[in-house]
Amino acid sequence: MNQNEFVKLITPFKDKVFRLAKRLLISTEEAEDATQEVLVKLWSRNSSLDDYNNLEAFAMTITKNYCLDQLKSKRAGNLKIVHTNFDNKAPSSDKILEGKDSLDWVEKIIDQLPEQQRLIIQLRDIEQYEFVEIAKIMDMNETAIRVALSRARKTIREFMIKTHSYGIG
């Protein structure tokens, strides 16, 4: 496989790899580094990539494992992970500001979820993966994925109701 074929093969899911890395590592720079590492690992296996039934799921698994390894090495070094808030240009109306505030709250709540629930929310609700694909990536059965997703969504909903005194559909 040449370089152009490889790029065509990974382009459809490269952004998903970055978003998963960003969700886990929080830092944009670290997520970019992780994405690059995953692509290098895939390139190093380019002769055997056709052997994988679902290359995207394989890439997401590599991403998850790489990021978790990075987090473990940081914890071992007692480094603190700092969340960088996303900048928002001046909103044009109160509705946009209100929506962004709610989205920021949901992001903060997701960041506080247990690691497994955080990953499942990212893969299902943000990346739109099917349960069978998430089960392969997470190495769990589909029922466990559904239960963890339900618990994560319930935690988010309860926190939003408690802090904002309103429910989210």
What is the pLDDT, as a whole number, of residue 95? 65
HSE (side-chain half, CA atoms, 13 Å) at 41:
16
- DSSP letter (8 states) at residue 50: G
Question: Measured between alpha carbons, how far is 28 from 52 in angstroms, rounded to an integer?
Answer: 29
pLDDT in tens, 23-64: 989 889 999 999 999 999 999 998 888 888 899 999 999 999
118 φψ region: left (φ > 0), alpha (ψ -120 to 50), beta (else): alpha
What is the pLDDT, as a whole number, of residue 79? 44
Question: Measured between alpha carbons, how far is 3 from 46 in angstroms, rounded to an integer?
Answer: 9
pTM to 2 decimal places: 0.59
What is the pLDDT, as a whole number, of residue 38? 94
pLDDT in tens, 57-98: 999 999 999 998 888 887 655 444 444 555 545 445 666 666
List domains and CATH numbers for the chain.
1-84 (1.10.1740.10), 88-169 (1.10.10.10)
> Token match 């039934």: residue?
53
Q: Which of 106, 100, 105, 140 is nearest to 121 (CA)?
A: 106
